[in-house]
Amino acid sequence: MKKMMSSKSILFIRWGAKYEEATELQKILSSLTKAQIRILILNPVDGIQTPTEVDWEINNVCMVNVPHDPNNVSTWDYVLDEILLRH
């Protein structure tokens, strides 16, 4: 909570969420901090081989359909590409 209160920008990652859950999560997290929040939702989908972005049109929420295996390195390489961490 301390980091959340003092950070300027925060990325939250969630494995699996429905549209309604994403909107509620965005609303709650926005109310808990003054930081600019971004939410990355990874939704596992049967039969999918490569990640596919889906536009849910929710501010600061990115949703990606992904293979079911949360340990798939290529999935994480795709979704975290160009994301940088700052102290």
Query: 3-class DSSP state for residue 78?
Result: helix
Map 15-53 to HEC letters: ECCCHHHHHHHHHHHHHHCCCEEEEEEEEECCCCCCCEE
pLDDT for position 1: 77
Looking at 3-12, 28-37, 58-67, 70-79, which range is the least confident one? 3-12
Distance separating the N- and C-terminal Cα atoms of the chain: 16
pLDDT for residue 87 is more than 80: no
Where in the chain are the domains? 2-80
Q: Which pLDDT tens digit goes with each residue over 15-54?
A: 999 999 999 999 999 998 889 999 999 999 999 999 999 9
List, in sequence order, every residue forming a beta bridge with 37; answer none if it has no partner: 10
